[in-house]
Amino acid sequence: MEKRFLEGKTVGILTGGGDTPALNSSIEQIRNHVSILGAKVYGIRQGWKGLLGEGDIVDLTNQPFDGKCGGTALKSSRTNPFPSKKNPVSRVDQVLTNLDRYGIDILVTIGGDDTNGAAKKLWEQERIPVIGFPKTIDNDLRTTTIHGYKGKDIEVCLCPGFPSAANSVVEYTQKIRTTASSHNRVMVLEVMGRHAGWLTGTSSYGFADMALIPEFEINKERKEKFFEKVKEKYQENNYLIIAVSEGTRWYNDQTGQVEEVYASTETDEYGHPRLGGISGVIANEISQKLKIDARAQIIGYYARSGKCFEYDRKLSVALADKVLDLLLREDYGKMPVLKRIESFPYIEEYNTTAIDMGNIGNLPLPLDYYNPDEFEISEPYYDFLYHILGPIEKYEFKYKYPKVYPNK
């Protein structure tokens, strides 16, 4: 029998950083595709942490797996094996030792800029064969993907995890409308996404009335204009949904500075503090300055929880097909990405390519996607989301009744 290309080799898969609903789908598809080439497949638990100390490794070869379930069966961490401000001691030697001890020949790292950036260093400095695989609900990786809209090419991103999270944010925003309208309230929804407005913008697809994104800070002048718009829009329906990115910079009346709001200033091993609380600040100021009942609601981890959305499943398959191609060509230090935004039936391997997996982070929401004067998402972004999420119907009570006046 002819020997298969990776027969006798072992491929290790790890997931790093925050979880997404598409991680198990990505693990499953990578495992299935790698197995075609005859390799053993090991799962490295808790990201890079699973390659420290004694190691934490499981065998995924020919094992049952549920890619539809959200989260990651391999667990995750924000461990950085390279020296950092929080942990100045290099642990790369532990990683190398455990790769040798467990007989892992090739690494596939599922993550964002931090996880894949560390893997790229391992390839460049130690020549450990690595292939990256994109993952983020923030959708801010520089994947060089193109969205064609009315004759114009817009550089965008589309990573596994984002479609599922977007679907959840749209669903959440739709549902919150009923309580907002019942109590004539302004609901301020805080959405994850760090310093990019991609995920927050999806709330508008769920019919949020306004959106504040990190790409446009709210300085003193814009803050005054924002309150004018809130008052104007509230008077139209006597309720309002405002989405705000957790990383939006907001003018502080007391300090006279434009500031981020932190849930905790303690940083992880990649230097990121924990953002959070901006929705409460905005809701309180709306209540105080406009005398309108406003409440803060943090969507938080709901956005990255639950089942894997069908578009994500298809995207994982297409990108895993490209991993197979990279393995066959021994083209390491690369990451598969989508070439162009396409609707569900056209997400296939032919629409993928590979890019360098280093320095891929922090792609802002394109200017074409946002109207800063109206604090609203623009038509091109609706088109982008239509390709991923399909049509959506506005969910609200449609009937109005004539007012009755007393006879006397």
Length of the chain, in residues: 408
Percent of the chain surpassing pLDDT 70: 99
> In this structure, what CATH number is given to the domain that contains residue 284?
3.40.50.460
Q: 349 pLDDT band (50/70/90 cuts)?
A: confident
Residue 281 lies in a domain: yes
Residue 97 lies in a domain: yes
Same domain, 232 and 317: no
Cβ burial 380-396 (10 Å sphere, 16+ → b, else e): bbebbbebbbeebeeee
Residue 243 lies in a domain: yes
Distance CA 370, CA 381 (A): 8
Same domain, 282 and 235: yes
Among left, alpha and beta (phi > 0; psi -120 to 50; other), residue 302 is: alpha
pLDDT at 85: 84
β partners of residue 251: 258
Residue 268 lies in a domain: yes
How far lies 211's CA from each of 9, 49, 241, in Å? 49, 37, 9
What is the three-class DSSP state of 49?
Answer: helix
Select the more confidently predicted residue: 350 or 257.
257
Residue 405 lies in a domain: no
Average pLDDT, the chain: 94
Same domain, 315 and 177: no
Distance CA 92, CA 253 (A): 46
Kindly report the CA angle at 214 between 384 and 378, in degrees rounded to 5? 30
DSSP labels, 200-266:
HHHHHHTT-SEEE-TTS-B-HHHHHHHHHHHHHHHHHHS-EEEEEETT--EEETTTTEEE--EEEEE
Same domain, 214 and 260: yes
From the candidates 19, 113, 114, 138, give the one annotated as an active-site residue. 138
pLDDT at 348: 83
Q: For residue 174, what are its two tokens? A: 């739709």
Which is nearest to 209 in space by CA: 255, 172, 250, 240? 240
Is residue 100 flagged as an active site residue?
Answer: no
DSSP letter at 271 equals: S
In one-letter notation, the amino acid at residue 75 is K
Distance CA 64, CA 31 (A): 11
pLDDT at 142: 94
Does residue 130 have a pLDDT over 60? yes
Distance CA 345, CA 365 (A): 25
Residue 397 lies in a domain: no
Q: Using one digit for the tens of pLDDT, what is the confidence trace for 12-51? A: 999 999 999 999 999 999 999 999 999 999 999 999 999 9
pLDDT at 4: 79
pLDDT at 270: 84
Q: 56 pLDDT band (50/70/90 cuts)?
A: very high
Collect all residues with Cβ–Cβ distance below 8 Å to 341 and sequence separation of at least 6: 145, 146, 147, 148, 156, 158, 384, 387, 388
Which is nearest to 201 in space by CA: 224, 159, 173, 225? 173
Q: Which helix (H) or strand (E) holds 353?
A: strand 352-356
pLDDT at 370: 98
Same domain, 129 and 83: yes
Same domain, 370 and 323: no
Same domain, 326 and 266: no
Among left, alpha and beta (phi > 0; psi -120 to 50; other), residue 47 is: left
Does residue 358 have a pLDDT over 90? no
Does residue 340 have a pLDDT over 90? yes
Q: Using one digit for the tens of pLDDT, what is the confidence trace for 367-407? A: 999 999 999 999 999 999 999 999 998 878 888 899 999 99
DSSP labels, 291-345:
---EEEEE-GGGGG-SSPPHHHHHHHHHHHHHHHHHHHHT--SEEEEESB---GG
Does residue 350 have a pLDDT over 70? yes
Same domain, 255 and 106: no
Which is nearest to 24 in space by CA: 297, 270, 307, 294? 307
Distance CA 233, CA 326 (A): 52
Select the more confidently predicted residue: 344 or 277.
277
Beta strand 40-44 with 57-59 is: antiparallel
How far lies 35's CA from each of 41, 85, 156, 320, in Å? 7, 39, 32, 12
Position of tokens 């499953």? Answer: 28
Same domain, 176 and 316: no
Mean pLDDT of the region 145-163: 96
Residue 36 lies in a domain: yes
Select the more confidently predicted residue: 6 or 61.
61
Prediction pTM value: 0.94
Kindly report the CA angle at 106 between 82 and 27, in degrees rounded to 5? 90
Helix then strand count (H, E) for the chain reads: 9, 19
> In this structure, what CATH number is given to the domain that contains residue 53?
3.40.50.450
Same domain, 205 and 113: no
pLDDT at 2: 65
Same domain, 378 and 300: yes
Q: 361 pLDDT band (50/70/90 cuts)?
A: confident
Distance CA 284, CA 274 (A): 21
Does residue 84 have a pLDDT over 90? no
Residue 148 lies in a domain: no
- How many domains does the chain divide into? 2
Same domain, 248 and 314: no
Task: Tell me the residue range of the domain where 127 lies.
Answer: 10-136+308-356
Q: Using one digit for the tens of pLDDT, what is the confidence trace for 214-262? A: 999 999 999 999 999 999 999 999 999 999 999 999 999 999 999 999 8
Which is nearest to 58 in space by CA: 24, 93, 13, 21? 13
Q: 121 pLDDT band (50/70/90 cuts)?
A: very high
pLDDT at 1: 52
